[in-house]
Every structure is written in structure tokens, then in C-alpha cells.
Structure 1
Amino acid sequence: MKIAPYALVASAVVLSTTASAIPAFFKRAGDQAAAFACLFNYFTGQGLSDACSMTIATDFGIVTSGSLSDLTIDLTSSADPPSFKWSSTGLTLGLLSIPGVSYQVTEAKSRNILNDNNIDIARFETPSASATQSGASMTTTVGQSPLIVYTDKQAQFSAFVGALITKPSHTFSLKSSGDVTVLVTIPVSYTLPFGMPSTSIKVNGVGCSASYTMAGVNLNINNSNGLQFKSLSSHTVDPITGAFSLTLTIILKNPSQLYLNLGDLTLDTVDGTGVAVGTTLLQAVNLVPGDNTITAIVTSSAAASATLYKKVTTMGDTWTLTGAAGTGSKNTVVAAALVSLKAMITIPALNVN
């Protein structure tokens, strides 16, 4: 005897009615079975009841994995509350199969919550975008979207940005409610008399979540290749105080697929002996993957001028750049993110003749 797939799926729904009395694993299975039954009925033309709308709005595990081939964040906005631009050209999701249904996602948009360290810190809504699917893997884009930081979670968002800048990798998650258009194919014997065996259907409010691990910029004190001196462009020295300014061209290496627009960054500068010697302004930091050429303007403090100037013009030095003072950017979110930054750069003996 042949049993329709929707009947097999629906038979497991009873698990969800006693979910509170059974282990979480079985509750998850019951939630998933109930959602599959709802979707199967919907795909076969039986409609989506209010109860089913609520069922599929939960995260029932239809997304099994997530990856971003790139991520662009423009952090230069001064909006209050903080709102930044966020996009990706390569969002890939692994999808779970629905028993008795062959489906291809062709279009998607979503409302999303950015979660870091189990804390919801920001939200964004994506515009509708076309999707392609190969087997159980769906790829789409995240069009440029306003990323709105929750007003009481600015510190957590700054920590998220700081992790992307300073760590080798960072994992975060997105909790989504998606509106998707799917091309559905169901064996004819299971669809009659409800509908056609192959049709395009839009399903709103599908709940899902996925974790994403992205390589970070890895700009930290243990990465000696993160910042590299390239050339001295100009220098000035005050003949009375000995205070000086050096305009350098440096290379900031970004091994990740992150595109981060951070604007101007002013970092405290410490010499090789651990003495604070002034500040370094990194102008218009707009990172792309690979080598980034940046203008750095070093301004000495009066107390350290003579000693430091002699050192960098005769033997060179190794400096540590840090945002520890929390004033590294006019943007308060970025300034707070830089508190965790400590990056080293080796300056060779400079020819100032």
C-alpha cells in the first residue's frame, strides 16, 4: 500500500502536542514534522492555516548551514541610533529536504536579526533577490541594506566589529524570517485533485537561522605581517621643540573576504620600549581583501620627540598602534571597537636627507 508523503509527515505532528513532556531532540523532530506537513499541504493547494503560519514561522531547521563568500559593512555613518550599510554578493544556504517534495528556491527576501555571542545586537531587511539552487545548496545575494544597531546593544555591536578586525576568524548567527518563491514538483498521484504537479509558489514568513564563520582581518600584535611599512612620503621637524610629523605609506594586509569602510582612524603609538610617543592617523581606511595601501601620519608627542626621531632615522623601531583610549574614530561605535586593537609595524631606518 502506498502512503502519501504528506500523510507520513503529518503522522509525526502528534509529537509536537506533547513536546513539553519529551526530550528536546524529539520536540525538534515534532516541530520539523509539523512544519513539513504544513508546507506539503500548502504546496498541494490546500492553503496555509493560521496555525500553520505560526508553525513555519519558527526555526524548524530547514536551513542546515550558512556561508558568506564576502561581507561589506560601511561603518562611516554618524546616524543616531546607529545605522550602517551591509551587503553580500555570496550568501549560500544548505537546505533540508521536505519528504515527497522537490523544490527549487528562485527568489528570496528576509527580515534578519544579527546575533553575536547569543545576544541579538542588530537587525536588517534584505530586498528581494534572485536565487539559484543546486541540489540542497541555495545561493543568493544580500542587497545593500540598512543595518540598524539596537540602542542598548551598541557595546556588543562594537565588540562584534572589533572581533572582525582583530581575530583570525569570528562566528556569528543570523535569525531570519524569509519570504521565498519556490518551484515545487510533487508526484502527480499525491497532488490530485489539489493542484498541478509542478508550480511556482510564494511562501511568506519561513523562520530559519544559520551560523556563519568568517575569516577576520587578523590585525593584532601576534600578526607581524598585518601592517607593513612601504615608504616615507614627507616629514617635518620643529627646530625648537623637536616635535615632528612623518607621512608614511603603509600596507594593511586583509586576508579575509571582508570589505570594511572604517573612515579615519587615530591610534595611540607606543615605541619598542613601551613608551607612548604620539599618535598615528590612518587616513580613509576602506579595507578590501588583499593588500590595502594607506596613508599614515605620525605625530610625535613633545616629550618623546628627540629620542624617537633619532631612533627612526638611524636604526628604525617597532611600534604598537592601539585604540586603547577609545578615541580612535569620530564614530563612537568604531572607536569602541578599536579598544581591542593592538597592531605592530616595523619602521626601518628612515632616510630624511
Structure 2
Amino acid sequence: MKVSTQILATSAIAFTATALAMPSMSKRVIDGTKVLGCLASTFMKGDEAWSPECAAAAATDIGLAQEVSLGEFDIDFASSDPMSMPISLPNLQVRLASLPGTSWPIVSLANHHNIIDNGVAIAEFDFPMAPAEVKDSIVKNPIERNVVNILPGLEDAFSNYLANIITKPSYTFSIGGNVDASLKVPSLSGNSKSSDADSSKTLTATNIGISAPVTVRGLDNLQKIEYVELVSLTKDADSGVTTVAQKLNIHNPSELSMNIGDIALNILNANGDLMGVINIPSLYLAIGDNAVTATATFTDPDTYNTLTTKSNTFTLAGFDGSVKNPILAKALCSFVSHIAFPKLEAE
């Protein structure tokens, strides 16, 4: 649908009545009115209307973003720098406040945000300008591989944030910061014979303040870790150590896939006593089912008989050396799941 600059300008002004109708501080109202006036002027006059004063006023969150959805996303915890983790957000989208009578003419966005947990900014990301697609009030802005940086001194807070995502079925936090938006609007030219390419122009509005809640589906302690098949079962005659290599299926119910690297989990019995350790090398935990080969090492010399005479259920628990990444390792200290072994048959 072709929309005139006059309609866009009128809609931007009308947005004041909806975005600013909520109870708010006077600064939000003043800056919001200023920003919307700047948008209207930019639609009518071009980039030169977006002045430094407009950018300064836009830094105040005026309620433009209503909600952020990450969708399915990926974090690489096996990178060399634990403070800077590669992240991909191919399904990132933002629900904006409605622009009366039309859609936001956004064609690309650059994101500069903090991850905020319990009211504290714990990490930041700075994504360059990337294409965006708008339908109704939803902006889709997929982000290819980039990085999220933990703020210095907030390592423990970020570990706690990860622990909540790992152990809970869902978790809500927020993002806050600003975006630079490229807007495609009709040209002021009245020449009806001009092509579509000639009859529109791309304008840029910078430093627009954004904050919104984000809810992600969590790992829920990976409650479905299932024994699939025995690979080998041995007992060392000298040490009494029992080693079980087995194929497992780990179901990840979350929206987060993770490159974890080598991982070790403590094996506990029903009394909470440490029985051994289970190791999974080079674990990439995809969303959904994951077929892996794991090796469990039991130090109790009686374990071999226990495993070969009856079925057993063990608790799997993270500890501070579970993975190489120290921030993820601290988060995994909260992880607790279970695995059930049938009676094992030695070959």
C-alpha cells in the first residue's frame, strides 16, 4: 500500500495520544511529544529535520516497543573469551505501539541494548544495521552471528540470569537501550510518472530509546534425559572403578540452543551421595532431541553389581567445574536432573 508523507506525519502525531496516554513522568511526555514531532518533520522534510535535539529527546523510552520476542536463538559458550559470547537471533521481532492509520515504514534497524535482569544491566550488545520487515505492528529484525558482552563486575549476575533460564520452564527479563532506524517514506515529488524507486526515500532516525520485557522458554532442568542404548560396561579389577558408555537422548524444551563444549555432571544416588561423574564431549545442545554418547565413571566398587542386578535412577547435578566457561559453570551449579538406567547386561 502506497502511503503519503502527509499520512505518515499525521499518524506520527496521532501516536502521541496512544503511546503517551499511559501514566508517566513529565519528561517522558515532553520528550515523547518532541520525538513524534521530529518524526513528523522527518517524514515531511527529510534527514535534516532529525536534529541532535531530536536524537537527544529520542533517547527517552516513549513506549514505542511493547514487547520483544527472541524466538529460537543460539549462544556459543565454547568461545575463547567467556565475557564475550557469539549469539545468533534469526527470529528476533519487536511488537511496536500501533501507528494509527498505517504501518511503521521501517526497512532496517541497528540495535544498541543492555540485557536487564532484576533491574540491573548485566550485558550489552551492539548489532549493526540489518534489514527489517514490518507487518502490522510487528517488526522482524533477524540478527546473524554477533556477540553479547557481559559487563565487567557483573559476571555473577549473568551466571544467575543463565541459571534461571537453565532451571526454569520460562523466564522473563528485559532489554533497554536505543535503536537507529532507517525509514522508507514517499518522496515529496508530485510526479506521478516516477518509478517506485524514485518516489520514495530512505531516512534515518537515531538514538530512539527502547525498553521492553522479554520472556523466553527455558531448559527446565532438562527433565527428559533418557537412556537409549549401552555401548560398553567395564570394571577395573585394580581400582574397582566402573565405566559405562551409553547412548542418551537429551530433550531441550527451550528456545535456546547452546554450544557448550565438553561437559561433566556429578552422579548422585538417592541419598545425595556422590557416586561418580558423567562426561559428554563437545556437546552442542540443539533445540529438541539430542542424540549423544556419554561416559559415566563410578568410583564406588559396588556400583558394577548394582547396575547389573537391577534398574537404577540417579541424579545428575552441575558443579563449578562442569564446563570450561566459568560463567556458565557457575550457572550449572543450580542444574539438577535425573537419569534412569535399566538393569545393564555386561557383554
TM interval, shorter chain, is 0.7 to 0.9
TM-score, reference length from structure 1: 0.84
**Residue aligning to 1:261:** 259
Distance 1:85 1:214, change over 3 A: same
State whether residues 170 and 216 of structure 2, in contact with CA within 8 Å, keep that contact through their aligned partners in structure 1: yes
**Residue aligning to 1:169:** 170
State whether residues 5 and 100 of structure 1, in contact with CA within 8 Å, keep that contact through their aligned partners in structure 2: no
State whether residues 255 and 289 of structure 1, in contact with CA within 8 Å, keep that contact through their aligned partners in structure 2: yes
Shift of 1:282: 2.0
Distance 1:132 1:7, change over 3 A: closer
Find out whether 1:328 has 2:283 as its counterpart: no
Distance 1:330 1:213, change over 3 A: same
Alpha-carbon distance in 1 for matches of 2:152, 2:109: 28
Shift of 1:156: 1.1
Amino acid at match of 1:288: A
**Superposed CA offset, 1:66-95 (max 9, x none):** 112211100112326x11101111111112
Amino acid at match of 2:346: V
Distance 1:102 1:285, change over 3 A: closer
Superposition map of 1:54-203 within 5 A? 54-79=56-81, 82-98=83-99, 103-184=104-185, 199-203=201-205
Deviates more, 1:40-49 or 1:196-205: 196-205
Distance 1:101 1:35, change over 3 A: farther
**Residue aligning to 2:335:** 341
State whether residues 227 and 345 of structure 1, in contact with CA within 8 Å, keep that contact through their aligned partners in structure 2: yes
Structure 1's unaligned 5+ residue stretches are 17-22, 190-195
Number of residue equivalences: 329
State whether residues 250 and 295 of structure 1, in contact with CA within 8 Å, keep that contact through their aligned partners in structure 2: yes
Alpha-carbon distance in 1 for matches of 2:27, 2:205: 24
Distance 1:60 1:351, change over 3 A: same
Amino acid at match of 1:148: N
**Residue aligning to 2:218:** 216
Amino acid at match of 2:304: Y
**Superposed CA offset, 1:240-272 (max 9, x none):** 332111111111101122111111111111023
Alpha-carbon distance in 1 for matches of 2:317, 2:199: 62
**Residue aligning to 1:42:** 42
**Residue aligning to 2:310:** 315
1:287 to 265, 285, 288: 285
TM-score, reference length from structure 2: 0.86
Find out whether 1:305 has 2:315 as its counterpart: no
Distance 1:8 1:288, change over 3 A: closer
RMSD (Å) for aligned C-alpha atoms: 3.0
Tell me, what secondary structure is at the counterpart of 1:90?
Answer: coil
Shift of 1:153: 0.6
Alpha-carbon distance in 2 for matches of 1:7, 1:182: 14
State whether residues 103 and 134 of structure 2, in contact with CA within 8 Å, keep that contact through their aligned partners in structure 1: no
Distance 1:63 1:28, change over 3 A: same
Tell me, what secondary structure is at the counterpart of 2:128?
Answer: coil
Amino acid at match of 2:341: I
Q: Identical aligned pairs, as a percentage?
A: 28
Tell me, what secondary structure is at the counterpart of 2:142?
Answer: strand
Alpha-carbon distance in 1 for matches of 2:73, 2:11: 42
Amino acid at match of 2:294: A
Alpha-carbon distance in 1 for matches of 2:11, 2:123: 40
**Residue aligning to 2:3:** none
Shift of 1:321: 0.9
Distance 1:214 1:8, change over 3 A: closer
Amino acid at match of 2:244: L
Amino acid at match of 2:216: M
Distance 1:235 1:251, change over 3 A: same
Shift of 1:34: 2.4
Tell me, what secondary structure is at the counterpart of 2:216?
Answer: strand
State whether residues 170 and 214 of structure 1, in contact with CA within 8 Å, keep that contact through their aligned partners in structure 2: yes
State whether residues 103 and 136 of structure 2, in contact with CA within 8 Å, keep that contact through their aligned partners in structure 1: no
Tell me, what secondary structure is at the counterpart of 1:152?
Answer: coil
Tell me, what secondary structure is at the counterpart of 1:208?
Answer: strand
Amino acid at match of 1:69: G
Distance 1:188 1:171, change over 3 A: farther
Distance 1:204 1:5, change over 3 A: closer
State whether residues 44 and 188 of structure 2, in contact with CA within 8 Å, keep that contact through their aligned partners in structure 1: no
**Residue aligning to 1:19:** none
Alpha-carbon distance in 2 for matches of 1:272, 1:297: 20
Alpha-carbon distance in 2 for matches of 1:78, 1:89: 23
Tell me, what secondary structure is at the counterpart of 2:219?
Answer: coil
Structure 2's unaligned 5+ residue stretches are 1-7, 191-197
State whether residues 73 and 260 of structure 1, in contact with CA within 8 Å, keep that contact through their aligned partners in structure 2: yes
Alpha-carbon distance in 2 for matches of 1:184, 1:103: 10
